[in-house]
């Protein structure tokens, strides 16, 4: 049995571009608005929207809500920290 991992995530600012080699993500935006970069495409998201991020797809979320965004993120199979591959250097 493969299983899944569900996490509630709060985002202020932007994520760095990254990918996951071994799991897919379902991102349900519970509150807020922003833009999800999926490879070379940008998708506008607002409360209630859902996006599928398939394994291996470079992606990053940019928050555009002054109060931050909150998302329910489901990883299938369950995500492991070592599966995150950074594609950009984080800002310091």
Report the CATH number at residue 53: 2.60.120.10
**What is this structure's pTM?**
0.88
- Within-domain flag for 44: yes
- Within-domain flag for 46: yes
What does the pLDDT average to over 4-31? 95
* Counted domains in the chain: 1
- Within-domain flag for 34: yes
- Within-domain flag for 90: no
Residue 34 neighbours by CB under 8 Å, 6+ apart: 11, 44, 45, 61, 62, 63, 64, 65, 69
Peptide bond into 77 cis (omega under 30): yes
β-pairing verdict for 59-63 and 33-38: antiparallel
Domain around 69 = 5-80
User: What is the H or E stretch that residue 22 is in?
Assistant: none
- Within-domain flag for 22: yes
pLDDT tens by residue, 33-59: 999 999 999 999 999 999 999 999 999
């Amino acid at each position: 049995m493969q299983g899944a991992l569900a996490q509630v995530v709060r985002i202020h600012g932007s994520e760095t571009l990254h990918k996951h080699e071994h799991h897919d993500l379902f991102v349900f935006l519970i509150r807020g608005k922003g833009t999800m970069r999926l490879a070379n495409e940008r998708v506008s998201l607002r409360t209630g929207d859902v996006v599928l991020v398939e394994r291996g797809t470079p992606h990053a979320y940019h928050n555009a809500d002054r109060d931050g965004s909150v998302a329910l993120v489901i990883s299938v199979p369950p995500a492991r920290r070592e599966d995150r591959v950074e594609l950009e250097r984080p800002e310091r």
